[in-house]
Amino acid sequence: MAKILVVDDNPTARQFAGACLKALDHQVTLLAPDCLFQVLAQLHQDPPDLLILDLIMPGCPGLSVLRFCREDSHLKNLKVIVMTSHGDATIGRDLVEVLVKPVSIGDLTRAVEALLVPPALG
């Protein structure tokens, strides 16, 4: 079981991701962000194993959250899934998976498992 933080301004997307992840027995926190600092405070207060992040949110741009995480010594290795209706291949880097909305249960499950399960050795 992993601790997962879902940050999305869309309540339907948040609830969908939360329900999928809880069905997989993960500990899930849902956050409707008011501002970037609210998300960063949550990440520092209770660091998750995985962050699921919307890209376009009023007052809290997903790219800014991602940039701050990569520049923060405590969060730089945080695994992130970006769920967005605006596909952007330029954000795909190590520890980041991009899913274009609408996201299926299977796509979300595969992305979560790919980031949380360490690759087999040998």
Range of the domain at 80: 3-103
CA distance 58 to 71: 22
Residue-level pLDDT at 93: 60
Residue-level pLDDT at 120: 60
Residue-level pLDDT at 84: 86
Residue with tokens 């991602």: 66
Residue-level pLDDT at 11: 96
Specify the number of domains making up the chain: 1
Question: Strands (DSSP E) along 1-122, which ranges?
Answer: 3-7, 27-31, 50-54, 79-84, 96-100
Q: What is the CATH classification number for the domain harbouring 76?
A: 3.40.50.2300
**Could you tell me if residue 120 is inside a domain?**
no
CA distance 69 to 84: 18
CA distance 84 to 23: 22
Q: What is the pLDDT of residues 18-64, one digit of tens each?
A: 999 999 999 999 999 999 999 999 999 999 999 999 988 999 999 89
From residue 120, give the alpha-carbon distance in Å to each of 51, 65, 80, 109, 117: 23, 30, 20, 18, 9
**Could you tell me if residue 38 is inside a domain?**
yes
**Could you tell me if residue 96 is inside a domain?**
yes
**Could you tell me if residue 52 is inside a domain?**
yes
CA nearest to 21, candidates 115, 120, 118, 84: 115
Residue-level pLDDT at 66: 92
Q: What is the pLDDT of residues 56-115, one digit of tens each?
A: 899 999 989 999 999 999 999 999 999 988 765 556 565 688 898 899 999 999 999 999
For the beta carbon of residue 76, count every other beta carbon within 10 angstroms: 11
